């Protein structure tokens, strides 16, 4: 049986990202619990404007428990799903066992239903925690295979720095007009998540193919393995054009989404990760082909 809510000494608040103190309290909570810093998001355009946080605050303004909902439309099997995402779910150790996390989760899901979202998705390393709320895990797959010959006609790409004002403005404009990277499973809008994810991993490179008006998020390791994380463009360029623009000829390739728009066929492999993608709604729908959401859309 779920524990009854014990909120003694706390105050419930909703929709506090416009309050600098409220935002700072969330930054501190996620830093303290998960060791991640979302503070730079303020300089990258701010949190998703559709975000709706739910939280319990103590008398000093510290955030004891939080979860945030936001609009996250995505493509599943060729159809755009009017969906929400849940993120930033956390409870400070001193306040656990009092029903606070269950309370904010129920409030967030109720809000999603009132907004008319047909589905809700989240990432978690504790899938059993969310099964009680009707969530189920979606199997995820990446693709791997030999690299195609780079296109010799592709114009040279240049690096982008999201912390540079001009580069940030370009990125933000392209993110607004992006196409899904796959017809099987892909987000349609995720500007805030893409931008903050550029700051979490120093190995991620962001390159701009000006001729194609395409932004490429990628990595390459010491063994010459090229990892394609995401593409932000109105029209998705082929993998051969991408490699030509980056001026690399990798030993092998992995694509972290279904590569149905890349003019390249890799072999699907189950994604080995401690984090699971969970879906609530849409019956028993799953991708018709092995697929995964880009890591740049993780939240």
Residue among 104, 118, 127 nearest 52 (CA): 104
pLDDT digits (tens, 9 = 90+) for 234-250: 999 999 999 999 999 99
Return residue ranges of the chain for CATH 3.40.630.30: 11-138+272-287
Question: How confident is the model at residue 2, as a pLDDT?
Answer: 54
pLDDT digits (tens, 9 = 90+) for 208-238: 999 999 999 999 999 999 999 999 999 999 9
Cα separation, 101 vs 5, in Å, equals: 9
pLDDT over 90, % of the chain: 96
Question: How confident is the model at residue 171, as a pLDDT?
Answer: 97
| Coarse DSSP helix, strand, coil percentages of the chain, rounded to the nearest 5 percent | 25, 30, 45
- Would the pLDDT of 1 be above 50? no
The CATH T-level fold of domain 142-270 is Aminopeptidase (3.40.630)
Residue 279 near residue 136, CB atoms below 8 Å: yes
- Would the pLDDT of 149 be above 80? yes
Question: How confident is the model at residue 79, as a pLDDT?
Answer: 97
In CATH, what class is 11-138+272-287? alpha beta
- Would the pLDDT of 3 be above 90? no
The per-residue pLDDT of the chain, averaged, comes to 96
Cα separation, 48 vs 41, in Å, equals: 10
Residue among 153, 196, 203, 154 nearest 171 (CA): 196
State how far the alpha carbon of 115 is from the alpha carbons of 27, 69, 102, in Å.
26, 11, 20
Pair type for strands 252-255 and 225-232: parallel
Cα separation, 143 vs 182, in Å, equals: 13
Strands of 92-182, DSSP E: 119-124, 136-138, 141-145, 158-159
Q: What is the mean pLDDT of residues 262-287?
A: 95
Q: What is the mean pLDDT of residues 14-40?
A: 96
- Would the pLDDT of 116 be above 80? yes
Question: How confident is the model at residue 299, as a pLDDT?
Answer: 81
4 — pLDDT class (breaks 50, 70, 90)? confident
108 — pLDDT class (breaks 50, 70, 90)? very high
């Amino acid at each position: 049986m779920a524990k009854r809510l014990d909120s003694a000494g706390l105050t419930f608040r909703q929709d506090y990202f416009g309050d600098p103190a409220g935002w700072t309290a969330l930054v501190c909570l996620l830093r303290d619990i998960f060791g991640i810093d979302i503070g730079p998001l303020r300089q990258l355009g701010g949190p998703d404007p559709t975000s709706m946080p739910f939280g319990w605050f103590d008398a000093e303004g510290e955030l004891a428990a939080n979860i945030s909902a936001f609009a996250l439309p995505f493509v599943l099997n060729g159809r755009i799903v009017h969906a929400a995402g849940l993120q930033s779910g956390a409870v400070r150790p001193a306040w656990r066992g009092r029903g606070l996390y269950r309370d904010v989760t129920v409030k967030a899901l109720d809000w999603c239903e009132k907004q008319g979202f047909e589905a809700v998705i989240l990432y978690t390393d504790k899938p059993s925690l969310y099964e009680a709320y009707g969530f189920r895990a979606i199997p995820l797959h990446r693709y791997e295979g030999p690299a195609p010959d780079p296109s010799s006609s592709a114009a040279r790409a240049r690096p982008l720095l999201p912390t540079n004002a001009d580069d940030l403005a370009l990125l933000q404009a392209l993110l607004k007009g992006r196409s899904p990277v796959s017809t099987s499973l892909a987000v349609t809008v995720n500007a805030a998540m893409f931008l903050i994810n550029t700051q979490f991993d120093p190995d991620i490179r962001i390159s701009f193919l000006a001729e194609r008006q395409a932004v490429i998020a990628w990595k390459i390791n010491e063994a010459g393995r090229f990892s394609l994380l995401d593409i932000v463009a109105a029209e998705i360029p082929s993998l051969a054009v991408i490699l030509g623009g980056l001026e690399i000829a990798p030993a092998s390739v992995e694509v972290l989404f279904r590569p149905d728009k890349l003019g390249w066929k890799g072999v699907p492999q189950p994604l080995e990760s401690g984090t699971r993608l969970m879906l609530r709604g849409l019956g028993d729908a799953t991708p018709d082909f092995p697929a995964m959401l880009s890591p740049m859309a993780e939240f």
